[in-house]
Structure 1
Amino acid sequence: MAHNGNRYSEEFKRQIIDLYLSGKPVKELADEYGLVEQTIYKWKKLYAATIKVDENKTISLKEYNALQKKMRELEMENEILKKGYSHIRQKTITEIVAFITKYQTIYPIKLMCKVLGINRSTYYKVANKVDSARTIENQKLDADILAIYFATKRRYGAPKIHHELLNQGWNISLKRVQRRMAKLGIHSIVIKKYRHYSSNKRVAEKDNILNQDFTATGINQKWCTDITYIHTQKDGWTYLASVMDLYSRKIIGWAYDINMSAELAIKAVKNACLNVSNPEGIVLQSDLGTQYTSDIFERFLASRKICHSYSRKGCPYDNACIESFHALIKKEEIYRHVYKDSKEAYDSIFEYIESWYNRKRTHSSLGYKTPAAVHAECAA
């Protein structure tokens, strides 16, 4: 749950209500984004209303949710058909039952039986026949592995899935998890190594206070920031500015726009300052981009008494943590989609940062805790 007194940007509030209007229950939103349910109801009064279909027609929230539910069911049926007819070669009862068992944690059994043309009684009769203890255990293990794998949107590999299984009570080796994942034909998204392309543009060297010392004894001591590019079909290149706390690795502020400007960089840092009573003395690391060396950005930092530390020209390792985060969000989320426009990209970024990365994605460097958990422990 979020601590009382947390402040949120208007964009954050509107996005939560958009998710509510799309059919997500208030309790689920509260759990997923660390909010108090009453806060969401308060925002709902401010932002939610009947839904306008066109100039002459509106529908109720209940009708809208029913349509959303029907659309989700149709999407699932389509996914089941696609997966089913690419995985099931002979279309035998055994293969169909194996397919349903494999995906039972992802799709309802009733829906899969309907789509694949098999009676539920037939499925349960074949699926429940007596198997060896090892086979039964492997089936349960496979189901748990797949549940973790798809719950993390295919972002976790064997080491993290193994850690989650140990937390669930399994007493198994990493090698066994690797073998089962190979048998299931699943693997994590591979993160490509950073490739630096040098620029011929001359940039004046500035003070590098941090000097690749990313250690901190608590939150709000050292931050880092950067801007990355995201392509959309309608709006072309768009830009994400992020601010990370180096102690917790939490993204404490971010901003997104179709223009790359000093104002975008400032907005991300402003959002990072929302829950800091006094940012005086915090060291902020950035590269030598024109947004960060601009007078307006420097004046803003000076007004908050934030110390500005600059990476050396052509040295991405000076800002490695935020570079790593931007590589991660691209490989785990952005490169997996073709965004129609900036709104679609924003929705994707919002879910990744606010729900997945900060609150659910564990980090081995944090003792397999989430950034939000480490941040909250330090703030308590």
Structure 2
Amino acid sequence: MKTRKTYPVEFRAEAVKLALEQGLSLEEAARRLGIPKGTLANWVVASKSGDVKAAPGARSASALEAENARLRKELAEARLERDVIKKARPLLCSGVTARYAWVEEHRNLFPVVVACRMLAVSRAGFYDWCGRAPSARQQEDERLKVAIRAAHTKTRETYGVRRLQPELAAMGFEAGRDRIDRLRRQMGIRCRQKRKFKATTHSAHTLPVAENVLGQVFEPTRPNEVWTGDITYIPTDEGWLYLAALKDVFSCEIVGYAMGARMTTELVRKALCRAVHYHRPPSGLIHHTDRGSQYCAKTYGDLLTQFKMHGSMSRKGNCFDNAPIESFWGTLKNELVHHRRYTTRAEAEASIREYIEIFYNRQRRHSRLGYLAPAEFTQKYWGSVEAA
């Protein structure tokens, strides 16, 4: 024989409260409570007619509210503890001072008592630490942070730790790489990085191709011994802007460049004439490019002969044969082009010209040059030649 299930008055009162005050439908409330919808409907009707006793239910509701409040508080504390551990995990193996510093930095996000408990440090010790004057090391770190921020801005947010170290040394701040890296991470500083690619070489032609003289051996012994050239593109709202450039492999300097709306032989000719005009290379310079039709054109070959240069060209489809200038394209785009949107070609030309003339050739430190800028490296070379 099926027995009729009975429910406590307190439960019935809370069920009615859930249905009436939480904005739930009878079906949803019944599903959450695990009771038949009809039963809950009867309780609701009875409560509205005054048949349900209020006193026991009222007392139970008060107790349940207190229990819910306690559970909500415990849940909030558990979430805080979880967030503290998640954010401070790298510090769990650090010293007490580092943990105190983390608590101080994040005290607006986490209660001190929770942060100290999860990091296993004394709350009294933390407040005692807060009352102390900054140590000499901490004061040095703060000064170094200011210098790092200034150097980061000066170098156009492009330097990693390796190149930033000699930049800081030149400013009078000697510091190890690990220390610089730690402070950069604390300040949230990162260098720009982004890559894209678009082919600009048209090698499907029947024009004569020069022999690959270099063979990926990029080891010149003086300036104006080996130049490498290529063409790349710059996107603008007006369309592509094409940039032809020549790079001195010895000094990493961009010795000549030209920009235009079309990728023509005239464009590369202008870049070469500019390089010769400003650098006056001696006879026998090796001029290396890819197999683009612009470089294989007869008029360009005649220009090389006039300047007494030896032409050299990469193997078909092998970008590593022209690695020095390809490296410059990557640097230019990672540090400048991919972080700008140019409305006009004229705007892009001005930006790129300033980058090459002011920053790249005269300020940007190159690891291959002992962290000197190309212009400074070349000047030191000629100074040593004269002294000898």
- AA paired with 1:189? R
Q: Contact 1:219/1:379 (CA < 8 Å) preserved in 2? A: no
Instruction: Give the superposition deviation at 1:188.
Output: 1.2
Instruction: Give the superposition deviation at 1:259.
Output: 1.1
Higher-Rg structure is: 2
Q: TM-score, normalised by structure 2?
A: 0.61
1:226 aligns with 2:262: no
- AA paired with 1:207? E
Instruction: Give the superposition deviation at 1:173.
Output: 1.9
- Indicate how the Cα distance of structure 1 residues 194 and 317 shifts in structure 2: closer, same or farther if over 3 A, else same: farther
2:190 corresponds, among 179, 187, 191, to 187
1:156 aligns with 2:159: yes
Structure 1 residue aligned with 2:366: 363
Deviations 1:5-61 (A, max 9, x none): xxxxxxxxxxxxxxxxxxxxxxxxxxxxxxxxxxxxxxxxxxxxxxxxxxxxxxxxx
1:137 aligns with 2:126: no
1:244 aligns with 2:224: no
Aligned length: 253
Q: TM-score, normalised by structure 1?
A: 0.62
Q: Contact 2:287/2:312 (CA < 8 Å) preserved in 1? A: yes
1:336 aligns with 2:348: no
Instruction: Give the superposition deviation at 1:192.
Output: 4.3
Q: Contact 1:238/1:259 (CA < 8 Å) preserved in 2? A: yes
Q: Percent identical across equivalent pairs?
A: 36
Equivalent runs, 1:206-217 vs 2, <5 Å:
206-217=210-221
Return the alpha-carbon distance in structure 1 between the equivalents of residues 288 and 306 of structure 2: 17
Instruction: Give the superposition deviation at 1:160.
Output: 1.2
Q: Contact 1:286/1:310 (CA < 8 Å) preserved in 2? A: yes
**What residue ranges of structure 1 are gaps of 5+ in the alignment?**
1-93, 96-128
- AA paired with 1:165? L
Structure 1 residue aligned with 2:349: 346
SS in 1 for 2:175: coil
Instruction: Give the superposition deviation at 1:162.
Output: 1.8
Return the alpha-carbon distance in structure 2 between the equivalents of residues 275 and 205 of structure 1: 27
- AA paired with 1:248? S
Instruction: Give the superposition deviation at 1:164.
Output: 2.1
Return the alpha-carbon distance in structure 2 between the equivalents of residues 171 and 146 of structure 1: 15
SS in 1 for 2:278: coil
Instruction: Give the superposition deviation at 1:334.
Output: 0.7
Return the alpha-carbon distance in structure 1 between the equivalents of residues 203 and 293 of structure 2: 15
Q: Contact 1:284/1:308 (CA < 8 Å) preserved in 2? A: yes
Return the alpha-carbon distance in structure 2 between the equivalents of residues 268 and 245 of structure 1: 13
SS in 2 for 1:275: helix
SS in 2 for 1:346: helix
- Indicate how the Cα distance of structure 1 residues 140 and 356 shifts in structure 2: closer, same or farther if over 3 A, else same: same
- Indicate how the Cα distance of structure 1 residues 198 and 264 shifts in structure 2: closer, same or farther if over 3 A, else same: closer
- AA paired with 2:229? T
- AA paired with 1:231? P
Return the alpha-carbon distance in structure 2 between the equivalents of residues 199 and 239 of structure 1: 14
- Indicate how the Cα distance of structure 1 residues 249 and 296 shifts in structure 2: closer, same or farther if over 3 A, else same: same
1:377 aligns with 2:386: no
SS in 1 for 2:258: strand
**What residue ranges of structure 2 are gaps of 5+ in the alignment?**
1-103, 106-131, 384-388
Q: Contact 1:199/1:314 (CA < 8 Å) preserved in 2? A: no
Return the alpha-carbon distance in structure 1 between the equivalents of residues 372 and 209 of structure 2: 37
Return the alpha-carbon distance in structure 2 between the equivalents of residues 316 and 226 of structure 1: 11
1:264 aligns with 2:261: no
Query: Structure 1 or 2: larger helix share?
Result: 2
Return the alpha-carbon distance in structure 2 between the equivalents of residues 232 and 195 of structure 1: 14
Return the alpha-carbon distance in structure 2 between the equivalents of residues 347 and 278 of structure 1: 27
- Indicate how the Cα distance of structure 1 residues 197 and 346 shifts in structure 2: closer, same or farther if over 3 A, else same: closer
Structure 2 residue aligned with 1:310: 313
- Indicate how the Cα distance of structure 1 residues 337 and 229 shifts in structure 2: closer, same or farther if over 3 A, else same: same
Return the alpha-carbon distance in structure 2 between the equivalents of residues 200 and 225 of structure 1: 15
Instruction: Give the superposition deviation at 1:197.
Output: 11
**What CA RMSD, in Å, does the superposition of the two structures yield over aligned residues?**
2.6
- AA paired with 1:156? Y
SS in 1 for 2:269: helix
Structure 1 residue aligned with 2:297: 294
Instruction: Give the superposition deviation at 1:133.
Output: 2.8
- AA paired with 2:217? D
- AA paired with 2:373? T
Structure 1 residue aligned with 2:173: 170
Q: Contact 1:283/1:307 (CA < 8 Å) preserved in 2? A: yes
- AA paired with 1:356? F
- AA paired with 1:325? F
SS in 1 for 2:245: strand
